[in-house]
Copies of this chain bind each other. A is one copy, B any other.
Amino acid sequence: MSVTDEYLQNNETYAAGFAGPLPLPPARKTAVVACMERPLNVYGVLGLQEGDSHVIRNAGGIVADDTIRSLAISQHLLGTEEIVLIHHTDCGMLTFSDEQFAGILEQASGERPNWTANSFPDLEGDVRDSIKRIIDSPFVKNKSSVRGFVFDVATGKLHEVS
């Protein structure tokens, strides 16, 4: 049985206890941008209840154009106001350069991607850059609470980047 099939079995249990639909806009008017990686269970780390927040995740938790797209939809159409960014220690994105990754893909596929991996050498620096990209974007309208954190995978704690 594949992992996907096991997840589908889990879903039957979930659906059996499902309480029914929630309204579309997030209850807590918050969007979280976080890394895709395994140590970060965003629901546990922030104590999110089902339906509290939008959750946007990608490799690194970076603010790419596609992140701005999601945040713009979140704020303009679904009424969120606060933004929480989370990177984490021991992040895979610290372990390679964009050039190295393009080389890996070229060797595996014969093609180089027309995008960069957006790896970063410095966690706090990338959190600051990510906050700046949001502040500088004309398409994110609510900027009074844009805060960034590093999640420490050894302790489970969030540390704010100032």
Contact = CB atoms under 8 A, between A and B. Distances in A.
A85 B3 CA distance: 13
Nearest to A157: B15
B113 A139 contact: yes
Given A8-B158, A11-B157, 14 more contacts: A3-B53, A10-B47, A14-B44, A15-B156, A15-B157, A22-B39, A24-B37, A27-B38, A39-B50, A65-B114, A76-B101, A76-B108, A77-B95, A108-B141
Interface in A1-41: 2-4, 6-15, 17-18, 20-22, 24-31, 36-39, 41
A72 interface: yes
Given A4-B82, A18-B156, A28-B3, A47 B139 contact: no
A39 B21 CA distance: 7
A121 interface: no
Contacts of A43: 41, 43
Contacts of A4: 30, 82, 84, 145, 147
A130 interface: no
Label chain A's interface by main secondary structure.
Answer: mixed
Interface of A: 2-4, 6-15, 17-18, 20-22, 24-31, 36-39, 41, 43-48, 50-59, 64-70, 72-74, 76-78, 82, 84, 90, 92-93, 95-96, 101, 104-105, 108-111, 113-115, 117-118, 138-139, 141, 145, 147, 153-158, 160
